[in-house]
Structures are given as C-alpha cells and as structure tokens.
Amino acid sequence: KPGAVQTNLAKVFAERGEQSVAEATLWQAVEADPNQENGVMWWLSIQQERGGEAAYLAALHTVAALPGSWRAQLWMARHYLQQQNVEQACVLYEEVLAGGQFDRSALQMISGDLGNNGHIPLIVELVGPAYDEHKHDSTAGLNLLRAYQELGRVDEGEALLTRLYALGFAPIKSHLDQFAHAFEDVRRQEDKGVPIDPASVTINTVALTKPVWHYGLRNADWLFAKKRKVRQKLVSSPCPKSWRKQNLPNRSARMISGAIRVASLFTWLSRFTTGMTMQPIVMSRSRRVRGRLYLGLRSTATHCSISSRQRRSISSRARWVVRVRAIKPSGGFH
C-alpha cells in the first residue's frame, strides 16, 4: 500500500537524521492512507511531543477530516469516553458505522473501549446490528457476547454463540465454551421458583441422530468414525413409565436405560451401523422447560422387549438382556 511504503521511507529518512524530510514524507503517507495505524500514530505522537494534549487533539481532527478517514474518529471517541463525554463519542461511532468503510478491527476497538469505560448497553446498541462474524474480528464477537452476558440477554447471546461456533475457529473455542456455560447458568438461576403453566406444556418426540452431548460440542463430527457401507440401522427410545408399571427397581430401570444409551452410542461409533434415538422432550413457551429432555413419558418402544423371566433376572441382579431389533436399510429414516 502506498501509505505503508511511504511510512517506511519516512523511517529511513529519520534514521539518517533528515527529520524535516521524514516528517514531510510521513504526512504524505497519512494523506495516502489516513487509517494506516503505524503511520498515523507516529505522526500524532510527533504533534503531541511538540504541543501536548491540545496539539494531539487538533492533529486528530486534522486526520479525521481527510477523505476516507475513520480510525482517527475512533481515537477521538476514546478520548471523549475517558472524559465522560459519552454523547459526543456516540456521534463519532455512529458516523463511522454509517460510513461502512472501516476494517475488520474497528468493531473490536469500539466494543472494547465502550466496555472498558462501563457503557455495556451501548455495545449491544451500536456493535450488535453491525457485527458480521464473517467480516469482522472475532474478538468483537466475544466482546458482544460479554455484553449480552452482563445484561442478562441470554437469547441474543446464545444466538450469537451459535453463529460463532459455526465458524469453527479454534483459537476462540475455549472462550465460546465458557460463554455457553455462563448462559446455561443464567437460565438455571431464572428457572428456580418459576411456576409452570400446564396449559403451555406439550410433549414431543425428537429424533437424535447423534449423542445428546454431541450437540453441545457444536459440530464435533471428528469424534466419530466416517461411515462406510451401512449394513443396518438401529432405533432406540426410553420407556420408564412402562418399567414402573412392571414394578422394576429404580436401579434396574437405570441399568436398562443405560444399556439402551450404550447401544445407541455403539451405532454412532460403528463404521457400518447408523443409529437414531427417539427422545421425548417437553416443549413450552415458558423458558423454564423449553427444550428439556423428559424421561417420564410412556413410549411405544416396540423395538425393545423384556420377557417376564428376564425381568425376574434383573430384579435378582443376575445377568439380563435387552433385545434390540435391527432394521435393514431400505431408503433410510426420515
């Protein structure tokens, strides 16, 4: 870029002791690219050394007046935030965002400065609508997530979390996991003591083609072997209400439920078998029970049969068997 080349040339002149030529060349670099951070910061520091803070602010206004400039406006806004002049800072932020000429680091700077000065709601108001995870720095996304967390706006935070997970960007994965746990903790706190309206609750069945914990890992498909030729497909489902009517001990019911989950996991790990778990869940307009797994629903799990002799074996803590019907592939499950 011309601005960067001229800035490097100005450094050469400065090392030779030709200060006047270096400054003239540096200003040409600033005019060529008023958003080139190294060149602009060097020129501003020269003005500050000569005239103090007043000269620094005047230089910022000079650079901000150049065509296409936006970085100087952000530095001016930072100064206004430090002086508690939030209104003037917001005017500059809105001007930069409306211009749309900023680079991918601009939203990181805006959100960082607002957060460091305690103006969390403004991060959501200004950065939220402008942030595009495919165009802008992921750090701005993390700052926005932090703002949603601080403000208790869990729905918006989780929506952004899903978008950032979809990037598959390893350096921020651990940060995203921390936010996911934090949002879940907020939901748990909100759930405590909240009454549920029975009329708002419905029970549906969801087909899980992966282990339930896999969905929380956000597309961790590398955990499973790549399927080769599928020879059989397996369906499993919990049916604890049926077990209660058969007077099975709780421990035995848990053992059977665990066996069904193990069978499902085997199909997911196998290269030659695919599996599906039909999982009842409670759906409600209430946030307390939205999308929660429900294990108390009678299920028509005809693929899982336990004879009376096997039930006596289970009750006596001897060996027991869970029968699973394998279904050959014929068009697949839908």
Most confident of 197-211, 285-299, 309-323: 197-211
More confident site: 83 or 241? 83
- For residues 191-206, average pLDDT: 71
At residue 230, the pLDDT reads 65
**Range with the lowest mean pLDDT among 58-67, 87-96, 243-252, 284-293?**
284-293
Predicted pLDDT at 196: 67
Cut 0.85: pTM above it: no
Task: Look up tokens 């230089």; give the residue.
Answer: 59
- Mean per-residue pLDDT, 255-274: 67
Around 235, how many Cα atoms within 13 Å sit in the side-chain half-sphere? 15
Measured distance CA(5)–CA(12) in Å, rounded: 11
Residue 91's pLDDT is what? 96
**In this model, does residue 139 exceed pLDDT 80?**
yes
- 147 pLDDT higher than 70: yes
* pLDDT band at 317; cut points 50, 70, 90: very low
* Residue 164 confidence (pLDDT) above 60: yes
Q: What is the pLDDT of residues 37-77, one digit of tens each?
A: 889 999 999 999 988 989 999 999 999 999 999 999 999 99
Of 33, 55, 166, 39, nearest to 103 by C-alpha is: 33
pLDDT (average), residues 86-110 = 93
Q: Are 138 and 167 in contact (CB under 8 A)?
A: yes
Q: Output the 3-class SS for the chain.
A: CHHHHHHHHHHHHHHCCCHHHHHHHHHHHHHHCCCCHHHHHHHHHHHHHHHHHHHHHHHHHHHHCCCCCCHHHHHHHHHHHHCCCHHHHHHHHHHHHHHCCCCCCHHHHHHHHHHHCCCHHHHHHHHHHHCCCCCCCHHHHHHHHHHHHHHCCHHHHHHHHHHHHCCCCHHHHHHHHHHHHHHHHHHHHHHCCCCCCHHHEEEEEEEECCCHHHHCCCCCHHHCCCCCCCCEEEEECCCHHHHHHCCCCHHHHHHHHHHHHHHHHHHHHCCCEEEEEEEEEEEECCCCCCCEECCCCCCCCCCEECCHHHHHHHHCCCCCCCEECCECCCCCCC
Pairing of strands 273-284, 201-208: antiparallel
Which region among 109-113, 161-165, 219-223 has the lowest average model confidence (pLDDT)? Answer: 219-223
pLDDT digits (tens, 9 = 90+) for 6-19: 888 888 988 888 88
Q: How far apart are CA 295 and CA 282, in angstroms?
A: 9
Per-position b or e across 275-309, b if 16+ CB within 10 A of its CB: bbbbbbbbbbeeebbeeeebeebebeeebbebeee
Q: Write down the pLDDT at residue 248.
A: 53
Please state, in angstroms and rounded to a whole number, the distance separating the CA atoms of residues 44 and 95. 22
Q: Average the pLDDT over 197-222 and give the result.
A: 72
Nearest residue to 11 (alpha-carbon basis) of 33, 34, 43, 44: 43
